[in-house]
Chains A and B, each alone.
Chain A
Amino acid sequence: MTNRIFSIAGEPGIYPFTGGLYPEGYKSRRPTIREFAGHGLALDTNSRHLMLLKQGATGLSTAFDLPTLMGRDSDDPLCEGQTGWDGVAVDTLYDMEGIFKGIPLDKTSVSMTINAPASVLWAMYIAMAQRRGISPGQLSGTIQNDILKEYLSQKEFFLPEEYGVKLVIDTIEYAARNMPKWYPISISGYHTREAGSTAVQEVAYTLSAGIEYVRKSIERGLKIEEFGPRLSFFFDAHNNIVEEVSKLRAARSLWARIMHERFGVPISSKALWCRMHVQTAGVTLTRQEPQNNIVRVAIQNLICLLGGAQSMHNNSWDEVLCTPTEEAAKIAVRTQQILQEETGICEYPDLVAGAYIFERKTMEIEEAAEAEIDTIENMGGMLAALKAGYPQRMIRKSAFEYESMVERGDITVIGVNKFSCDENEEPISVSEELEKRMEFEAHQIERLNRVRGWRNKFHVEKALQELREAAQKDMNIMPYLVRAVSTYASLGEICSAFKEVWGEYKERDLFGSYPHTSTMKEAVEKYRLQRPFRILLAKGGLDGHDRIMHTLMEFYKDLGAEVIYPGLHCSMKEIAKRAVEEDVDMVGLSTHIGSPIVFFSRLSQYLREAGSQDTVVIGGGVIRARELKALSALGVKKFFPVGSSFEDIAKFVYEEASN
Chain B
Amino acid sequence: MTVLEGKRRLAKLITSVHTNKKKVKDLLNEKELARPPAHIVGITGSTASGKSTLIDKVIDVLRKDNFTVIVLAIDPTDEESGGAILGDTIRMRDHYIDEGVFLRSLGSRGARASLTVRLSELIRLVSRFSDFVIVETTGAAQADIALKKCVDTFITLPDTRGDAINLLKAGHHRRAHILVVNAREGMHDDERYFALAKDFARTVTSKDGWELAVFRVNAGNGEGIEELVRAGIYKHKDFRRS
Contact = CB atoms under 8 A, between A and B. Distances in A.
B93 A609 contact: no
Contact of B103 (A531, A532, A553, A581): A581
Interface in A521-579: 524, 528-529, 531-532, 553-554, 556-567, 570-571, 573-574, 577-578
A556 B96 contact: no
Nearest to B88: A564
Nearest to B186: A387
A1 interface: no
Which interface residue of A528, A577, A581 has the most chain B CB atoms within 10 A? Answer: A581
Contacts of A103: none
Contacts of B5: 610-611
B83 A578 contact: no
A511 B85 contact: yes
Contacts of A573: 97
Contact of B87 (A503, A561, A565): A565
Contact of B86 (A503, A559, A562): A562
B157 to A, nearest CB: 19
A510 B90 contact: yes
Contacts, number: 104
B84 interface: yes
A556 to B, nearest CB: 7
A567 B221 CA distance: 19
B4 A563 contact: no
A239 interface: no
Contacts of B14: 583
B82 A609 contact: no
A612 interface: yes
B104 A611 contact: no
A511 B87 CA distance: 8
Main secondary structure of the interface of B (DSSP, over half): mixed
Contacts of A564: 86-87, 89, 105
Contacts of A529: 82-83
Interface string A504-524: 000000110000000000001
A583 B90 contact: no
A448 interface: no
B198 to A, nearest CB: 30
B56 to A, nearest CB: 10
A334 B2 CA distance: 58
Contact of A558 (B4, B15, B81): B81
B8 interface: yes
B227 interface: no
A560 B4 contact: no
A609 B4 contact: yes
Interface in B15-33: 15, 19
A563 B90 contact: no
A649 to B, nearest CB: 14
Contacts of B221: 503
Query: How extensive is the interface on chain B, given as a class?
Result: 20 to 34
B15 A610 contact: no
A574 B85 contact: no
Contacts of B87: 510-511, 564-565
A528 B89 CA distance: 26
Interface residues of A, number: 36
B96 A532 contact: no
Contacts of A556: 83
B170 interface: no
A558 B2 CA distance: 37
Contacts of A574: 93, 96-97
B161 interface: no
Interface in B64-89: 77-78, 81-87, 89
Given A559-B83, A565-B87, A580 B78 contact: no
A582 B89 CA distance: 10
Contacts of B105: 562, 564, 582
A32 B96 CA distance: 48
B81 A566 contact: no
B193 interface: no
Interface string A495-509: 000000001000000
Contacts of B78: 557-558
Which interface residue of B5, B78, B82, B221 has the most chain A CB atoms within 10 A? Answer: B82
B102 interface: yes
Given A583-B11, A610-B8, A612-B8, A577 B96 contact: yes
A357 B81 CA distance: 50
Nearest to A537: B85
A510 B92 CA distance: 13
A566 B89 contact: yes
Contacts of A577: 4, 7, 96-97
Given A609-B4, A610-B7, A581 B104 contact: yes
Cβ-closest 3 pairs across A and B: A557-B83, A583-B11, A610-B4
Interface of A: 503, 510-511, 524, 528-529, 531-532, 553-554, 556-567, 570-571, 573-574, 577-578, 580-583, 609-612
29 contacts: A503-B221, A510-B90, A511-B85, A531-B19, A532-B19, A532-B82, A532-B84, A532-B107, A554-B85, A557-B78, A557-B83, A557-B84, A559-B81, A560-B82, A562-B84, A565-B85, A565-B86, A565-B87, A565-B90, A566-B96, A567-B93, A573-B97, A574-B97, A580-B4, A580-B7, A580-B11, A583-B12, A583-B104, A609-B2
